[in-house]
Amino acid sequence: MTARPRISKAYRTSHVWLLRVKDGRVQVLLQKRADHKSAFPGCYDISSAGHIPAGVDNIPSALRELKEELGVTADAEDLHYCGIRRIRYDDEFFGKEFHDRQVSKVYALWNDTDESGFDLQEEEVDSVLWMDFDECVRCVRENSFKHCIVMEELMLLKDHIDSRLTK
């Protein structure tokens, strides 16, 4: 009888997308992952994301990751909940089976900091880039730049953006 690979239980993550309005258009901040990262090196990704340690709630973890990765200080009430994304990903990683199970709470944070104003965590982040939100959606849909962004998450953000702009 062949042993089945062990698939771990889902772990929790927080995803925070920074947004701003510039020249009348909504922009999203993309983080370029450091080239030495083992997963998705050099890819554009969520503004800030991280695993939530046991015993810690989503929002404190999200605020901690923002501070560590981007040098952004925010308060809990600054985060706008956009939804939950469940991740089920199976692949091979370093020659071994890899099974990723995540439950991610997605938040938006409106922030006008210019790219040069962020204090980047060099171990995690190579650079950041503000991109027109609609252009980002198009580029992810067409897979026209190196990224690890999932359309489902951008659609959660779009719903938040649309509801905010119609107020």
Place of tokens 């104003």: 117
Tell me the pLDDT tens digit for each residue of 43-96.
999 999 988 877 778 899 999 999 999 999 999 999 999 999 876 666 666 676
Q: What's at 36, amino acid-wise?
A: H
Amino acid type, 16: V
Position 7 pLDDT exceeds 50: no
Q: Which domains does the chain have, with CATH numbers?
A: 11-165 (3.90.79.10)
Model confidence at 10, in pLDDT bands (50, 70, 90)? Answer: low
Predicted confidence at residue 77, as pLDDT, reads 97
pLDDT for position 106? 96
Q: Residue 5: left (phi > 0), alpha (psi -120 to 50), or beta?
A: beta
